[in-house]
Amino acid sequence: MKKMGLLAVLFAVIFLAGCAGIGLMSSEMENFLIKDDIELKTKKSNSDILDIVVEVGRSMDFKVISLDKKNGSVSFSYKSSTFKGVMLGSGNGAETDVFLKEGTLSIAMGTWGNFGTGGQKAAEELLKNFKEKLLEKLK
């Protein structure tokens, strides 16, 4: 009976691995870059603003890959889980750069992915969520 259970698990792993390959081969990767600015109406210091940007990014599962408070910039990265990629053949991610200069936050956000997760609509939705959270925290 144990052999049957082990065979069933092995078969399931092989089946799912096959699905991942099919997903990666049959789904076109998309990417999109979107940019926007936020005019700041806050009396917070540049350092405090950048801390808030970092906090918002982390709350959205972005990893901080660069922080330069002297020059007013933060960069983030996001990548979907390896498990999802291996088992389902699905992958997506985003790179975000935020620059603070003269009372303006400039945001450049690039998305990539398959199954509709990396195109223009995905980028617009992600940027919208990021901006909403930022504006809420900057009040």
| Segments forming the whole domain that contains residue 30 | 2-137
CA separation, residue 81 to residues 40, 123, 127 (Å) = 34, 19, 21
Give the model confidence (pLDDT) of 24-83 as tens digits: 455 788 999 999 999 999 889 999 999 999 999 999 999 999 999 999 999 999 986 555
CA distance 31 to 123: 9
- CA-wise closest residue to 60 among 113, 137, 2: 137
What is the domain count for the chain?
A: 1
Residue that has been written with the tokens 């450049």 in this structure: 108
Mean pLDDT of 5-16: 55
CATH of the domain at 126: 3.30.310.50
What integer pLDDT is reported at residue 19 of this predicted model?
Answer: 47
Residue 89 pLDDT > 90, yes or no? no
2-6, 20-24, 38-42, 105-109, range with greatest mean pLDDT: 105-109
